[in-house]
């Protein structure tokens, strides 16, 4: 049933990693096509006018983006390991967790692009600080909401845990100097459990 799905992704994109983890957890087979989004001839621009990964190509050639829409579609494809509650308050809570975790990544990506895409003399420290503050306060909110619970939502593994784990993994990957484990022992504990799952191990970003 899933033979003809293709995911355009990159090994370093946390948004693509979230989608790949969802596929792995739900046992959805999909062809992976890696691209360098910063190259002028990246294939993703043929399918996503925004030129961003991840982008899912369906069997009829139709394109689905962004990562939140893709994971929604994937969760509906098969009942195996449902990750998003079907309706109601639980569903909104899981999606809000995802928005929070993606928002932490969005803020960190702004900081990274400021560092990597602009010459040193043109980087705006107040802009960097503003986004670091968003990431810091997002982590604080995640830590408070997780508390001492086993899972982010409803005592079971959901998309909320995947999204949070991906954000924490992105911190380790791109911002090892941020000591989030020191400030949030409960996030550290949760991440240790998530990072040991095969779906997380299979999708680790490249070292270095």
Ligand X SMILES: N[C@@H](CCC(=O)N[C@@H](CS)C(=O)NCC(=O)O)C(=O)O
Binding site for ligand X (CB under 6 A): 13, 15, 37, 51-54, 66-68, 102
C-alpha angle 114-109-30 in degrees, rounded to nearest 5: 140
CB of 67 to ligand X, least distance (A): 3
The pairing of strands 63-64 and 31-34 is unpaired
CB of 199 to ligand X, least distance (A): 18
Which C-beta is closer to ligand X: that of 65 or that of 200? Answer: 65
Which C-beta is closer to ligand X: that of 70 or that of 187? Answer: 70
Which C-beta is closer to ligand X: that of 132 or that of 188? Answer: 132
Closest CA to 165 of 173, 132, 131: 173
Which C-beta is closer to ligand X: that of 154 or that of 172? Answer: 172
Which C-beta is closer to ligand X: that of 9 or that of 184? Answer: 9
CB of 52 to ligand X, least distance (A): 3
Closest CB to ligand X belongs to which residue?
66
Contact indicator for 192, 180 with CB cutoff of 8 Å? no
Q: What's the CA gap between 65 and 63, in Å, rounded?
A: 7
Strand arrangement of the beta sheet that strand 6-9 belongs to: 31-34, 6-9, 55-57, 63-64
Contact indicator for 100, 146 with CB cutoff of 8 Å? no
CB of 164 to ligand X, least distance (A): 15
CB of 145 to ligand X, least distance (A): 21
Which C-beta is closer to ligand X: that of 51 or that of 140? Answer: 51
For the chain, how many residues are written? 208
**CA count, 13 A, side-chain hemisphere, 40:** 0
CB of 68 to ligand X, least distance (A): 6
Q: What's the CA gap between 107 and 83, in Å, rounded?
A: 25
């Amino acid at each position: 049933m899933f033979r003809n799905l293709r995911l355009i992704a990159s090994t370093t994109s946390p948004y693509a990693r979230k989608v790949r983890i969802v596929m792995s957890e739900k046992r959805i087979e999909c062809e992976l096509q890696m691209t360098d989004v910063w190259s002028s001839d990246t294939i993703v621009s043929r399918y996503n006018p925004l030129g961003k990964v991840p982008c899912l190509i369906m069997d009829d050639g139709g394109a689905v983006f962004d990562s939140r829409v893709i994971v929604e579609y994937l969760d509906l494809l098969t009942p195996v390991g449902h990750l998003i509650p079907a309706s109601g308050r639980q569903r909104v809570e899981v999606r809000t967790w995802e928005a929070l975790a993606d928002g932490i990544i969005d803020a960190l990506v702004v900081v990274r692009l400021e560092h990597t895409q602009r010459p040193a003399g043109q980087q705006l420290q107040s802009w960097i600080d503003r986004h670091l503050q968003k990431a810091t306060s997002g982590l604080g909110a995640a830590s408070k909401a997780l508390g001492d619970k086993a899972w982010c939502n409803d005592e079971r593994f959901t998309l909320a845990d995947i999204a949070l784990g991906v954000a924490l993994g992105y911190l380790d990957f791109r911002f090892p100097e941020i000591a989030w484990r020191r400030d949030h022992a409960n996030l550290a504990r949760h991440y240790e459990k998530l990072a040991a799952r095969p779906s997380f191990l299979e999708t680790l970003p490249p070292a270095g």
